[in-house]
Amino acid sequence: MGKRFYTKEEVEKIIQRVITTKGFVGDHFTKEDIISIAKDLNLDVAIVEAEIEKADEMLEFEQAKSLWRQKKKKEFYELTFALGAAILGISVVFSVFVPEGEPVAIILSTLFIILEIIAYLEAFHPSEEKVERGARKILRSKKWKKKIDAFLDSLLDIIPDKLQNK
């Protein structure tokens, strides 16, 4: 009999059975659970940890993309309110105080509506490139915030020591 090859599905089922027989139940695992399973399967733990790190980074990136989309939608609604108020104000001012200025009010209102359409497309139908760029910007700002927080925490740890030594 020749060498047997297993399909990806068969391998997944085998590993699933190993996981179940080891006492792991459910669909959620801690990092320690995954490392324990990797050790049981004689897998290189360093590679598994690197893959866990990649999975964490991918999840964080997906969350940042979602946050960016939410932020853009919120900005759109804020702009809609502001533009609506501006159009209403312009209409009232020109109809009450400058009746011959009606064409100006119509032109400005049309420009505001065009701006609103552009903002809608940006908020609800952005390109994937824009979403990813926005997500990377959010992640960079979070990274800097963590660094600043760590620096401030270290300062707060040092200051009481310096005051006590005086």
Which pLDDT score is estimated for 106? 81
How many other β-carbons are positioned within 10 Å of the β-carbon of residue 64?
Answer: 21
Over the chain, what is the mean pLDDT?
Answer: 87
* Assigned domain for 57 exists: no
Which pLDDT score is estimated for 123? 94
* Assigned domain for 92 exists: yes
Is there a contact between 90 and 108 (Cβ–Cβ < 8 Å)? Answer: yes
- Domain range for 81: 67-165
* Assigned domain for 152 exists: yes
* Assigned domain for 26 exists: no
Q: Which residues contact 12 (CB under 8 A, 6 or more apart)?
A: none
Which pLDDT score is estimated for 166? 58
* Assigned domain for 23 exists: no
Which pLDDT score is estimated for 45? 93
Domain count, the chain: 1
* Assigned domain for 41 exists: no
The amino acid at residue 125 is H
* Assigned domain for 31 exists: no
Q: Three-state DSSP class for 17?
A: helix
Identify the segments of the chain with pLDDT beneath 70: 1, 25, 101, 160-166
User: Is the whole model's pTM more than 0.75, yes or no?
Assistant: no
162, two tokens: 């310096």
* Assigned domain for 86 exists: yes
Which pLDDT score is estimated for 95? 77
